[in-house]
Chains A and B, each alone.
Chain A
Amino acid sequence: MNDRSRKIIDSSFSKLAKISLALMCAAVAAFTLPIIIKGAGAFLFTATSEHEKILEENFGADLSDGQKERIKRGEIQKEKIFSEILELENRKSLEAQKIITDEIDAAFAKLQKQTDSVLSAAKLTSSKRRKAFADISTSIWGDFASRVKEATQMAEKNGAAVSFEKFLEKCSEDVTERAKQYSGSKALKAQIKPVARAALRRSICQLPNSELELSRKRLSEINAAYFTFKSGVNKLLGPVDAKQKASEKLPRNKYGQSRMDMARKVFEESVCKIRVIATDKNGHSTFQSVQTKEYFKGTPVEKIFDEIEENFDALMQPHFVFYGGFFTNDPVDSNLLGGIFPMIVGTFYLTLGSMLIAAPLGIIAAIYFSEYAKPSKITSALKMCVGTLAGVPSIVFGLFGLAFLIDTLKISDGKSVIAGSATLALLILPTIVQSCAESLKSVPQTYREASLGLGAGKWYTICTVILPAALPSMLTGIIISMGRAAGETAPIIFTAATSTGVALGLSQIFTNPTPALPWNIYNICSEHEAAEMVEHVQYGMVFTLMGIVLSLNLVAIIIRAKLQRR
C-alpha cells in the first residue's frame, strides 16, 4: 500500500469516527433532553392555587399567609362561576311553563264542552270510534305542538333548560292523569264501555305527550351537553360546593387542576369542547365533539364560558413553584396527586438489598477466581457458568425468583422486597464476579511479589495489597451493577413490585411488596386509567430513575478518582 492511500484511509477513518461520535452525542442529547426538561416539570412548574390546597389538605402543609391569600383570591373568582352554575340549574322559566299549563287547561276545558260528541263517538264501531276520538283530540289540542316548541325555545334561551326538562316530564304525567280522570268521570263511566274509555284516554294523551316527549328529548340532549360542560368545569376548577366535594369519592374530583399546563389542557379539551350525542343519517346515536361556544350560543351557558375564558388567570392564580414534595410525598389517587416517595424508597430498598447480597458473594467469588483457583477444567467450567449466567434474560431471573425463592423456598408469603432483592442480586452477581475478577487480575503481579517477598502470607497480601489496589475499579464495577439493579423491571414484576402502596418501614421488607420506579413507570404509562393526566409524573419518574442511576455512576467516578489519587 502506498503512502497516499494510507493517508486517505487514515483521514477517512478519523472523519468517520468523528461523525459517528457526533451522531452518538446527538442521539444521547435527543434522548436525555426531553427527559430532563419534562422530568424537571414534575417538580418545577407553574402551579394554580389548587396546588397549595392539595398540599394543605392531603399532606398537612403549613401555608404562608401569601399562599392562603392566593387561594382565597381564586376561591372568590370560582365562587362567582359556581353560583352562576347553581343558579342556572335551579332557574325556572315561569313564562314558558305558563304557556304550556295554559294550553293544557284550555284543551281540557274544550274537552269538557265536547262531552256530547264524545258520547256519540263512543257508540260507533271500534275503527270509526278511533277516528272520531282522534278528531276530537286534534280539535281540543289545536296548535299545542307549536306552543310547546315556542315555550321550549324560550326556556332554552333563559337558561332554564334543566328545570324545564323536569317540568315537561311532570306535564306529561299531568296530562295522562287528567285524561284518566276525564275518561273515568261519572258521566262517562255510566254510558261508555271500559274498552272505549281506554281508547278515549289514549287518544287524548297521545298527541300532547308525544309533543312533550319530543321537546323533552331535545332538552335532555342540551342538558346532557350542559352537564358535560359542567363536569369539564368541575375538572378544571373543582367541585362547585362543599356538598359536592364531600360526596366525591375520588380525591381527583375534589380538586381543580393544580398545574397550569394541565389546567390549559383541561380547558381546551373539556371546557372549550364538549362531546354531545348526535343522531346520524341512519338514526344511530353517536358522540360528536363540538365547540361549547357555538353549541350554547345565545344562552347563559355561553356567558359562563366567556367568564371562565376571560378570568382564566384570576381563577387559576398561576405562580411558579418548586414542589419538593414530589420526591417526599405519597401518591394520592393513582399518582394523580402527590409525589412518588414510596417508589423512590422501594427502589432504594431493592437496590441496596441486592447490593448487600451480591457484593460480598461476588467479591469472594472474584477473589477465588483470580487468586486461588488453579487453572483446571472445573475452574474454566465455573467461569463459563458465570459468563452464561450473565447472559440470561432478566425476565427468566424474575420467573426464577418467583418459582424458586417465593414458591419453593418460601422466603416470603408472596412478593416482597427481600425476594426482589435476592432476585436482583442473582441477576447482577455474574457481572460483579466478572468485573471484580477482572479488577483483581489487573493488579500488577509485582505487588504480589513485593508483598510475598516481604514475608506476607497470601491472605494478608490479598487484604492489604491486592484488594486496596483493586478497590477503585471493583467499586466502579459494583456501583455500575447497582445502577443496573436499580433500573431492572422484569425481575421485580414477579417478585417485589406492586403498583400502589406507601413507603415501607424496614421491618416490612421481609413481608411486603413495594412500589418501585422501574415497574411504576411501566404501570403509569401503559396501565393507568388516566395516563394523559399524569404525563408529568411519568416524566418525573423517568427523570428520578435516571437521576438515581446517573448519580450512582457519578459516585463511582468520584470514588474512583479519589482512591486513585491516593
Chain B
Amino acid sequence: MDNKTQDNTPQSNAVVSARDFCVYYGTHKAVKNINVDFARGKVTAIIGPSGCGKSTFLRCINRMNDLVDGCTTSGKLMLNGVDIYHKRLDVTELRRRVGMVFQRPNPFPKSIYDNVAFGVRLKGRIARSDLDEIVEKSLRGAALWEEVKDRLSSSALGLSGGQQQRLCIARALAIRPEVLLMDEPCSALDPKSTARIEDLIAELSGKYTIAIVTHNMQQASRVSDNTAFFYEGNLIEFGETAKIFTNPKKQETNDYITGRFG
C-alpha cells in the first residue's frame, strides 16, 4: 500500500485507523509510518515474521504499551475518529472499548464467575441477577457456558488451556467492547483448542471488530476477512485475505506466505 495515495481521513466504516503512525522503543523505531483502516465488524489478521512490530502495533490500539518503559509514538491512531494517544483521553475508558486477549491464557486466580464479572464490576454496582445474565451471555458468547455452567464458583486456574483462553475471551466480551484485539491467542494451545477458538472467532465476526495477530498463515486465511502483512516495522501490504494469500502484490508478501522466510 502506498502511503502517498492513502486518503488521510478514515473510511466511513473504519473503527481503527492509523495515519503515519510510528512506535519507538527509546530511539529504536519499531513500527514505521503505518496507514491502515480496520473495518467495522471485520476480522483483520496481522501477519509477519517475529519482531516485525505486529504485536507492538496491536498493543498500541488499547495503549497496553504504556506499561513498557520508554515506549513512545508519533502520528495518529484513531478509534472511531478519536485520537487514542490524545492527552486527555481516558485510558481506562479506551481499554473498556478495546478488549484484549493475550498470547497466553491469563485468567485471574479467582472463580470462573468472578473472572467474567471482573470488568463488569469495574463500572460500578450491579444487581446480582443482571450480573448473572451478563456472565452467562458472555460465557455463551465464548462458547464456554456448557462446559463450566456447573462449576462457576470453582477456580479458573482449574480449566484447560483452551478453556482458559475462551474464558479470557468471555471476560473481554463481558464489557461489550467495540474492538477485540487478539495477540496470538492460539500460540500456547493444542490444535483441538485452536480449532475451537477459530470457530469462536468466526462466530464473533460481524458482531465485533477483531484484530488478530498470528504466526499461523493457515489460521489467518481461515479466520480473517482482511490481512495486513508487516515486515521490519513497515506495513507491506493490506487487503482482503483471499487476495493477499492468492495474489499478493508485493514480492516480500509472496515470499513470506510461501514460506521463503519468517
Residue positions of A touching B, CB distance < 8 A: 374-375, 444, 446-457, 460, 464-465, 468-469, 566
Question: Whose C-beta in chain B lies nearest to the C-beta of A472?
Answer: B109
**Cβ-defined contact, B109 with A449, below 8 A:** no
- Assuming the contacts A460-B122, A469-B109, asked whether A455 and B67 have C-beta atoms less than 8 A apart, the reply is no
B79-97 contacts to A (CB < 8 Å): 92-96
Kindly list chain B residues whose C-beta atoms are within 8 Å of the C-beta of A469. Answer: 108-109
Residue positions of B touching A, CB distance < 8 A: 62, 64, 67, 69, 92-96, 99-100, 102, 104, 106-110, 118-119, 122, 155, 168, 171-172, 175
Q: How far is the CA of A465 from the CA of B122 in the complex (A)?
A: 12
**Cβ-defined contact, B122 with A453, below 8 A:** no
**Cβ-defined contact, B106 with A452, below 8 A:** no
Partner of B118, one of A375, A444, A449, A451: A451
**Cβ-defined contact, A452 with B95, below 8 A:** yes
Kindly list chain A residues whose C-beta atoms are within 8 Å of the C-beta of B100. Answer: 449, 453
Partner of A454, one of B67, B110, B155, B171: B171
**Cβ-defined contact, B108 with A465, below 8 A:** yes
**Cβ-defined contact, B64 with A453, below 8 A:** yes
**Cβ-defined contact, A455 with B106, below 8 A:** no
Q: How far is the CB of A531 from chain B (nearest CB, A)?
A: 53
**Cβ-defined contact, B95 with A455, below 8 A:** yes
Majority DSSP secondary structure for residues of A touching B: helix
- Assuming the contacts A454-B172, A455-B175, A456-B122, asked whether A446 and B67 have C-beta atoms less than 8 A apart, the reply is no
**Cβ-defined contact, A455 with B102, below 8 A:** no
**Cβ-defined contact, B106 with A447, below 8 A:** yes
Q: How far is the CA of A457 from the CA of B64 in the complex (A)?
A: 12
Q: How far is the CA of A374 from the CA of B107 in the complex (A)?
A: 27
Q: How far is the CA of A446 from the CA of B103 in the complex (A)?
A: 10
**Cβ-defined contact, B62 with A453, below 8 A:** yes
Q: How far is the CA of A450 from the CA of B96 in the complex (A)?
A: 12
Q: How far is the CB of A566 from chain B (nearest CB, A)?
A: 6
**Cβ-defined contact, A453 with B95, below 8 A:** yes
Question: Whose C-beta in chain B lies nearest to the C-beta of A456?
Answer: B122
**Cβ-defined contact, A444 with B106, below 8 A:** yes
**Cβ-defined contact, B102 with A449, below 8 A:** yes
Question: Whose C-beta in chain B lies nearest to the C-beta of A454?
Answer: B119
**Cβ-defined contact, B108 with A457, below 8 A:** no
- Assuming the contacts A448-B67, A451-B118, asked whether A456 and B92 have C-beta atoms less than 8 A apart, the reply is yes
Kindly list chain B residues whose C-beta atoms are within 8 Å of the C-beta of A451. Answer: 108, 118
- Assuming the contacts A446-B102, A457-B92, A460-B122, asked whether A452 and B64 have C-beta atoms less than 8 A apart, the reply is yes
**Cβ-defined contact, B92 with A455, below 8 A:** yes
**Cβ-defined contact, A453 with B102, below 8 A:** yes
Kindly list chain A residues whose C-beta atoms are within 8 Å of the C-beta of B64. Answer: 449, 452-453
**Cβ-defined contact, B108 with A447, below 8 A:** yes
Question: Whose C-beta in chain A lies nearest to the C-beta of B115?
Answer: A450
**Cβ-defined contact, A566 with B109, below 8 A:** yes
Q: How far is the CB of A474 from chain B (nearest CB, A)?
A: 14
Q: How far is the CA of A460 from the CA of B108 in the complex (A)?
A: 14
Between B94, B102, B109, the greatest number of chain A beta carbons within 10 A of the residue's beta carbon is seen for B109
Q: How far is the CB of A378 from chain B (nearest CB, A)?
A: 16
Q: How far is the CA of A460 from the CA of B171 in the complex (A)?
A: 17
Q: How far is the CA of A444 from the CA of B103 in the complex (A)?
A: 14
Q: How far is the CB of A299 from chain B (nearest CB, A)?
A: 84
Q: How far is the CB of A372 from chain B (nearest CB, A)?
A: 13
Kindly list chain B residues whose C-beta atoms are within 8 Å of the C-beta of A450. Answer: 102, 106-108, 168, 171
Per CB-CB distance, the 3 closest pairs between chain A and chain B, nearest first, are A455-B96, A446-B106, A454-B119
Question: Whose C-beta in chain B lies nearest to the C-beta of A455?
Answer: B96
30 sampled A-B residue pairs with Cβ under 8 A: A374-B69, A375-B69, A447-B106, A448-B67, A450-B106, A450-B108, A450-B168, A451-B108, A451-B118, A452-B64, A452-B95, A453-B62, A453-B100, A454-B96, A454-B99, A454-B118, A454-B119, A454-B172, A455-B92, A455-B93, A455-B95, A455-B122, A455-B175, A456-B119, A457-B92, A464-B118, A465-B108, A469-B108, A469-B109, A566-B155
Q: How far is the CA of A468 from the CA of B110 in the complex (A)?
A: 9
**Cβ-defined contact, B171 with A449, below 8 A:** no
Q: How far is the CA of A38 from the CA of B200 in the complex (A)?
A: 68
Given pairs A454-B95, A465-B108, 12 additional interface contacts (CB within 8 A):
A375-B69, A447-B108, A447-B109, A450-B171, A452-B67, A453-B64, A455-B93, A455-B96, A456-B122, A460-B122, A469-B108, A566-B109
Between A449, A455, A566, the greatest number of chain B beta carbons within 10 A of the residue's beta carbon is seen for A455
Q: How far is the CA of A447 from the CA of B171 in the complex (A)?
A: 13
Kindly list chain A residues whose C-beta atoms are within 8 Å of the C-beta of B67. Answer: 448-449, 452
Q: How far is the CA of A465 from the CA of B114 in the complex (A)?
A: 11
Between A374, A450, A452, A460, the greatest number of chain B beta carbons within 10 A of the residue's beta carbon is seen for A450
Question: Whose C-beta in chain B lies nearest to the C-beta of A457?
Answer: B92
Q: How far is the CA of A94 from the CA of B50 in the complex (A)?
A: 121
Kindly list chain A residues whose C-beta atoms are within 8 Å of the C-beta of B171. Answer: 450, 454
**Cβ-defined contact, A449 with B95, below 8 A:** no
**Cβ-defined contact, B119 with A455, below 8 A:** yes
Kindly list chain B residues whose C-beta atoms are within 8 Å of the C-beta of A446. Answer: 102, 104, 106
Q: How far is the CA of A451 from the CA of B102 in the complex (A)?
A: 12
Partner of B99, one of A374, A453, A457, A465: A453
Between B122, B171, B172, B175, the greatest number of chain A beta carbons within 10 A of the residue's beta carbon is seen for B122
Q: How far is the CA of A9 from the CA of B141 in the complex (A)?
A: 58
Between A454, A456, A566, the greatest number of chain B beta carbons within 10 A of the residue's beta carbon is seen for A454
Kindly list chain A residues whose C-beta atoms are within 8 Å of the C-beta of B122. Answer: 454-456, 460
